[in-house]
């Protein structure tokens, strides 16, 4: 950030009066430009054909960077004006053309080194009419034994899948909060 988005003047990176953090402050109009973490919202789409059949999970192979070619759960940046559940449904439509019903908020991760908060809703995949969206190379259902653990795109994906397959044995799905701490880049 070099210029004020309100008046176009140059900004300085200083600690404003009464604050204790560096902020971008306009040299001209004095506006403080706060910068805050962003939310990534997504879901864990579970398909259960019937009680006799093992549940499967829908994963998407990423067509975009970062981690192009790696498997992920449908997720993306929450937009202004939408709820986190609506964002998860939208991302699942965009990335997998898949129809889901939200069940519960299932996992939330803080990633302070990249100023992101990730959250996943457990969801019921309503039918088999799914296909790759523009950001996916392939979308596919996986049994637990088929999950490509070594080809998962992000730590939040493997953590959420591990929680799910453990919880499924007890048929109870409490919300998890986890902090993923890495050196800042």
Nearer to a second copy, 31 or 141 (CB): 31
Query: At closest approach, how far in Å is the CB of 142 from a second copy?
Result: 26
Nearest to 160 by CA among 126, 119, 101: 119
Integer Cα distance of 162 and 156 in angstroms: 10
> Which positions touch a second copy (CB under 8 A)?
1-8, 10-11, 18, 21, 24, 33-39, 77-86, 104-105, 108, 110, 112-113, 115, 117, 119, 121, 134, 174-175, 177, 179, 181, 184
3-state secondary structure at position 136: strand
Cα–Cα distance, 177 to 108 (Å, whole number)? 5
Q: Kindly state the smallest distance separating residue 147's Cβ from a second copy, in Å.
A: 25
CB of 16 to a second copy, least distance (A): 14
- Spatial separation of the C-alpha atoms in residues 36 and 13, rounded to whole Å: 15
Q: Which of 172, 165, 73 is nearest to 120 (CA)?
A: 73
Residue 22 CB, nearest approach to a second copy (Å): 10
Identify which of residues 25 and 59 has a Cβ nearer to a second copy in the complex: 25
Shortest separation between residue 19's beta carbon and a second copy, angstroms: 11
Rounded CA gap, 145 and 57, in Å?
11
Q: Which residue, 7 or 48, has its beta carbon nearer to a second copy? A: 7
Helix (H, G, I), strand (E, B) or coil at 183: coil
């Amino acid at each position: 950030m070099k210029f004020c988005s309100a008046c176009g003047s140059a900004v300085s990176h200083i600690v404003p009066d009464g604050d204790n953090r560096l902020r971008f402050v306009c040299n001209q109009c004095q506006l403080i430009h706060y910068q805050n973490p962003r939310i990534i919202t997504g879901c864990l789409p579970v398909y259960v054909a019937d009680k006799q059949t093992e549940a499967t999970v829908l994963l998407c192979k990423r067509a975009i960077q970062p981690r192009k070619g790696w498997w992920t759960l449908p997720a993306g940046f929450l937009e202004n004006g939408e709820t986190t559940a609506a964002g998860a449904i939208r991302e699942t439509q965009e990335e997998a053309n898949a129809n889901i019903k939200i069940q519960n908020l299932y996992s939330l991760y803080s990633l302070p080194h990249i100023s992101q908060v990730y959250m996943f809703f457990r969801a019921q995949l309503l039918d088999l009419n799914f296909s790759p969206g523009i950001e996916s190379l392939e979308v596919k259902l996986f049994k637990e034994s088929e999950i490509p653990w070594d080809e998962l795109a992000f730590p939040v994906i493997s953590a959420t899948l591990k929680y799910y397959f453990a919880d499924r044995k007890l048929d109870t799905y409490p919300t998890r909060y986890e902090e993923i701490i890495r050196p800042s880049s």
